[in-house]
């Protein structure tokens, strides 16, 4: 799962440059975001999505793998936000993925990710997708916080998370555990 624009230091180079900008968005907008607890995001499926041309010719169906990715992005950002985007959060395991139907262009899926646990080592998130009133998919996702041996690796740029959260409207609908509006971490705002 790629949350942010990757940037890598190239041997011998003196400056860090962005290899490519983040384009891997499989959710369109957050409609609810309660810090550390639950987030809801929508995914509107469009026939304009390139992959639907081949999946399948003349019978476009949203690939289940990309639905899982969207649900993982919903849950992953929820976990990242809880750690003020300082933890290196990676999707480690899809413990369960159960689908109850297909999704087609014109459908809107609502992904609801609920935190089961956030600990020092990682987090577990349960997630469901709905198409209208119908249950469309159920997931259990395990995220790991990378620790020993990864301290100096730049997997994600925290400031990219901020851009992503803003673009997805998390700060427009989000609130913290006390019910106060969700605010971006001050240190990341300073970096901008």
Q: For binding to other proteins (CB under 8 A), which residues are involved?
A: 92-93, 95-96, 116-117, 119-122, 124, 140, 142, 144
Neighbours of 161 (CB within 10 A): 25
**Phi, psi for residue 152 in degrees, rounded to 5:** -100, 10
Q: How far apart are CA 57 and CA 165, in angstroms?
A: 34
Q: How far apart are CA 85 and CA 16, in angstroms?
A: 20
Partners of 141 in the beta sheet? 94, 125
The alpha carbon of residue 102 and the mean position of all alpha carbons in its chain are separated, in whole angstroms, by 21
Nearer to other proteins, 42 or 142 (CB): 142
Scanning the chain, the segments in alpha helix (DSSP H) are 64-82, 158-167, 170-173, 186-191
Partners of 98 in the beta sheet? 138
**DSSP letter at 18?**
E
Specify the 3-state DSSP secondary structure of 51.
helix
Nearest to 76 by CA among 90, 86, 62: 90
**Does the annotation count 150 as an active-site position?**
no
Catalytic residues: 55
């Amino acid at each position: 799962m790629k949350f942010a624009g990757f940037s890598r230091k190239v041997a011998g180079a003196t400056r860090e440059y962005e290899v490519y900008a983040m384009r891997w968005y499989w959710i369109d907008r957050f409609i609810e975001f309660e810090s550390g607890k639950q987030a809801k995001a929508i995914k509107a499926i469009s026939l304009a999505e390139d992959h639907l041309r081949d999946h399948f010719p003349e019978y476009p169906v949203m690939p289940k793998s990309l639905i899982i990715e969207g649900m993982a992005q919903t849950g992953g950002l929820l976990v990242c936000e809880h750690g003020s985007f300082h933890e290196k959060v990676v999707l480690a395991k899809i413990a369960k993925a159960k689908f109850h139907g297909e999704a087609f262009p014109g459908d809107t899926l609502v992904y609801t990710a609920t935190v089961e646990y956030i600990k020092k080592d990682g987090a577990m998130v349960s997630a469901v997708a709905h198409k209208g009133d119908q249950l469309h998919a159920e997931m259990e996702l395990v995220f790991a916080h990378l620790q020993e041996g990864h301290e100096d690796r730049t997997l994600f740029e925290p400031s990219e998370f901020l851009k992503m959260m803003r673009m997805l409207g998390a700060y427009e609908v989000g609130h913290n555990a006390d019910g106060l509006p969700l605010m971006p971490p001050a240190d990341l705002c300073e970096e901008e």
